[in-house]
Structure 1
Amino acid sequence: MLVAIALALVAIGSVVFHVMSPWWWTPIASNWGYIDDTLIVTFWITGIAFTAIVLFLAYCVLRFRNRPGHRAEHEPENKRLEWWLTIGTTIGVAALLAPGLIVWHRFITVPPEATEIEIVGQQWQWSFRLPGRDGRLGAVSVRLIGPDNPLGIDPADPAGQDDVIVEGGELRLPIGRPVKVLLRAVDVLHNFYVPEFRAKMDMVPGQVTFFWFTPTRTGAFEAVCAELCGLGHAVMRGRVVVVEESEYHAWLERQPTFAPRLAAAQ
């Protein structure tokens, strides 16, 4: 009896805690409300399944408890029950996977009008590279990374001469414009994550990964590393500021570019 009551309380308590919990996600500031919707669908499906299974266990513990004069029956197979479980599980798994696959397709399908920027992670700071007046990022190579060229920009590529470089500072983005974020890591695994944007991706040394989003709300947002990257992981933080278009261009004009830095190093 106590076990059955404990199981029932676990099920009921889990539902009450979820409904009354203060630990909800931060207000969204991008176009990825689809991700929130997918999480809610997942919560509903897994929550209903969890509650039903735990309450069923409580019923079984109470209904089939050991009592004088009762003898257990052994039924090794039940084809009807197996079919119901197979069909129910298949429907549940499909309902969990389908929304995620739809959102993932949108997540990696970048709009043609998106502006490319690059974020480079290294222990334990973020560096940002934005296109200059030509609107294009220059080529990069890990072989070119050094004290005078920490991002490995190719000096022979004309498109990289006016690339804007921000090391350890804040990244500014214009509101309402889609952005394709190219991600690189210099040393170990990192993950650039702004909770309000709902978009993130692992940064793998030797590879270029990406995601895209459209900022929908102005303001300053904290960026964190969401992949354990060493002793300074907890302090690897940055700031993304979403501003109006005119303010963004004014800020961009004030930032240093690659050409003067390259000339100073020669």
Structure 2
Amino acid sequence: MAVAIVIALLVLGTIIFHLMSPWWMTPLASNWGSIDNALIITLYICAVAFIVLNLFLALALWRYRSRAGHRAHYEPENAKLEKRLTLWTGVGIAGMLAPGLLAWNQYVTVPANASVIEATGQQWQWGYRFPGGDGVLGTAAVAHISPDNPFGINPRDPYGRDDILVETSELHMPVGQPVKLVLRSKDVLHDFYVPQFRAKMDLVPGIVTYFWMTPTKVGTYDILCAELCGVGHHNMRGTVVVESREAFDSWLSEQMTFGQLLAQNEAARNVRLADAGAAMTGGR
């Protein structure tokens, strides 16, 4: 009897906690309302199952408790009950899977007008690359990564010369524009996640992953790494600024291209060689 009361109180407490809890999803700031819908439908289906099953358990414990003059009826099989359980379990599973499958179909279908941004993760920071005037990102590979080429862009690829490089943790996006996020990792598993965008994806060493989304609200949001990537995992943060197209274009025009980076590195190398030569001459 006491156990039945405890189970019923547990169900009641869970419902009250959920209704009064201050912890809920962050405000949506992208087009992925379908992901929210899939999560909420799953939550409600699981909630109904939790409440019904636990209240049935409490009722069974109370109604069929041990009492003098009552004898248990042994029934090893009940085909009718099994069919009902199978039916409703199937309905519940289908109800949880269908919204997610519909959302996933949209998730992997990138709009033709989506712009491209590459996000590169490493322990424990982010870097970003935008295509230049040609609209195409140059090829990149781990073999090309060096202190002078942190993104690993192929210096022989002409499409990479006008690529725009952002080595700070702050990313800018224009509001209302579909964006395809191309993801690469330099070292271990990472995950690009902005809670308000809902969309996320792992960065896997050796392969290129992607997802797409459309920012719908102007604002500044946190970029988190949602994959345990080492002792500095908690510090792998960034910010994404969603702003008007005019503000975004202005910010983008201030960033350095890969061609400019190569020229800068070459100029610095020539200065070092000149200084070294002058030092040797003076030493004689």
**Scaled by the length of structure 1, what TM-score is found?**
0.97
Q: C-alpha deviations, 1:116-145, integer Å up to 9, x for none? A: 110011000000011112222111112212
In structure 2, the residue matched to 1:102 is: 102
Q: Secondary structure at the match of 1:111?
A: coil
Distance 1:146 1:75 in 2: 73
Greater Cα offset, 105-114 or 256-265:
256-265
In structure 2, the residue matched to 1:125 is: 125
Q: Secondary structure at the match of 1:46?
A: helix
In structure 2, the residue matched to 1:150 is: 150
In structure 2, the residue matched to 1:179 is: 179
Please tell me the residue identity of whatever aligns with 2:227. E
RMSD over aligned Cα, in angstroms?
1.0
Distance 1:168 1:70 in 2: 75
Shift of residue 150, structure 1, vs aligned partner: 1.6
Greater Cα offset, 110-119 or 34-43:
34-43
Greater Cα offset, 41-50 or 12-21:
12-21
Q: C-alpha deviations, 1:90-136, integer Å up to 9, x for none? A: 11101110000000010110000000110011000000011112222
In structure 2, the residue matched to 1:229 is: 229
Please tell me the residue identity of whatever aligns with 2:40. I
Distance 2:74 2:154 in 1: 73
Paired residues for 1:58-73 under 5 Å = 58-73=58-73
In structure 1, the residue matched to 2:217 is: 217
Q: Secondary structure at the match of 1:168?
A: coil
Please tell me the residue identity of whatever aligns with 2:183. L
Identity of matched residues, %: 55
Q: C-alpha deviations, 1:179-205, integer Å up to 9, x for none? A: 000011111110011111111001110
Shift of residue 264, structure 1, vs aligned partner: 3.4
Please tell me the residue identity of whatever aligns with 1:170. E
**Divergent runs of 4+, >3 A:** none
Q: C-alpha deviations, 1:58-81, integer Å up to 9, x for none? A: 001101111122222221111111
In structure 1, the residue matched to 2:282 is: none
Please tell me the residue identity of whatever aligns with 1:68. A
In structure 2, the residue matched to 1:166 is: 166
Distance 1:201 1:227 in 2: 10
In structure 2, the residue matched to 1:203 is: 203
Distance 2:262 2:9 in 1: 67
Maintained 8 Å contact 2:164/2:255: yes
In structure 1, the residue matched to 2:37 is: 37
Please tell me the residue identity of whatever aligns with 1:206. G
Shift of residue 20, structure 1, vs aligned partner: 1.3
Gaps of 5+ in 1: none
Maintained 8 Å contact 2:124/2:233: yes
Aligned residues: 266
Task: Name which one, 1 or 2, has greater alpha-carbon Rg.
Answer: 2
Distance 1:96 1:25 in 2: 19
Gaps of 5+ in 2: 267-284
In structure 1, the residue matched to 2:76 is: 76
In structure 1, the residue matched to 2:238 is: 238
**Scaled by the length of structure 2, what TM-score is found?**
0.91
Q: Secondary structure at the match of 1:65?
A: coil
